[in-house]
Chains A and B, each alone.
Chain A
Amino acid sequence: MSLLEIKNLHVRASGHEILKGIDLAVNAGEVHSIMGPNGSGKSTLAQVLSRRESYEVTGGEILLDGKDLLAMKPDQAACEGVFMAFQYPVEIPGIGNAYFMRTALNAIRKYRGHDELDAIDFLPLFREKLKLLEMDEKMMSRSVNEGFSGGEKKRNEILQMAVLEPRLAILDETDSGLDIDAMRIVAHGVNAMRSPDRAMIVVTHYQRLLNYIVPDFVHVLVDGRIVRSGGAELAHELESRGYGWVEAEARQVAPASA
Chain B
Amino acid sequence: MAVESAQLETYLETFTDLAKETAQETPPWLRDLRDRAFARFCEVGFPTTRDEDWRFTNIAAVARTSFRLPRDNRDRLPQTDLAAWRMEGAAAQLAFVDGRFMPQLSSVGALPAGVTVSSLHDEIVRGTPLIAEHLGRYLDIDRDPFSALNTAYIEDGAYVHVRSGIVLERPIHLLFIGTGGESPAMTHPRNLIIVEEEAQASILEDYVSIGAETPALSNAATELVAGNNGNVIHTMIEREHLSSFNFSTLRIEQARTANVASHSVLLGGALVRNNVHPVLNGEGGECLINGLFVGSGRQHLDNYMLVEHAKPHCASRQFYNGILDGHSHGVFHGRIIVHRDAQKTDAKQTNRNLLLSDDAQIDTKPQLEIYADDVKCTHGATIGQIEENALFYLRSRGIGESDARRLLLQAFAGECLDRMKPGAARDYAEAAIRARLLIPGEDASTDHRSEGGPGRRWEEVG
Contact = CB atoms under 8 A, between A and B. Distances in A.
B117 interface: no
Given A75-B400, A90-B390, A96 B460 contact: yes
Interface in A86-129: 86, 89-90, 92-96, 98-108, 110-111, 116, 119, 122-123, 126
B397 interface: yes
Interface stretch (A29-37, A76-84, A240-248): A76-84
B460 A99 contact: yes
B449 A98 contact: no
Contact of A94 (B404, B411, B449): B411
B461 A107 contact: no
A141 interface: yes
A255 B401 CA distance: 44
Nearest to B415: A94
Interface string B386-405: 01011011111111110110
Contacts of A74: 392, 395-396
Interface in B384-439: 387, 389-390, 392-401, 403-404, 407-408, 410-412, 414-415
Residue with the greatest number of chain A CB neighbours at <10 A, chosen from B398, B448, B456: B398
Interface residues of A, number: 46
B448 A102 contact: no
B51 interface: no
A136 to B, nearest CB: 12
Nearest to A161: B397
Main secondary structure of the interface of A (DSSP, over half): helix
Contacts of B390: 90, 92
A12 B393 CA distance: 21
Contact of B399 (A103, A140, A141): A103
A137 B462 CA distance: 9
A208 interface: no
A44 interface: no
B399 A122 contact: no
A160 B397 CA distance: 8
A140 B461 CA distance: 8
Given A137-B462, A141-B462, A94 B412 contact: yes
A72 B408 CA distance: 22
A243 to B, nearest CB: 29
Contacts of A52: 392, 396
Contacts of B400: 75, 107
Nearest to A75: B395
A73 interface: yes
Contacts of B397: 75, 78, 83, 100-101, 104, 107, 160, 164
B133 interface: no
Contacts of A72: 448
A86 B393 contact: yes
A99 B456 CA distance: 11
A118 to B, nearest CB: 8
B399 A104 contact: yes
B133 to A, nearest CB: 44
B398 A108 contact: yes
Nearest to A52: B392
A174 interface: no
B459 interface: yes
Contacts of A102: 461
Given A73-B401, A90-B389, A106-B456, A96 B396 contact: no
> Closest 5 CB pairs between A and B?
A94-B411, A78-B398, A104-B397, A98-B461, A90-B393
Given A90-B387, A107-B397, 17 more contacts: A50-B396, A51-B396, A74-B392, A75-B401, A77-B396, A83-B397, A92-B394, A92-B408, A94-B412, A94-B415, A98-B461, A99-B458, A103-B403, A105-B398, A107-B398, A116-B456, A164-B397
5 contacts: A75-B397, A92-B411, A103-B403, A104-B398, A123-B461
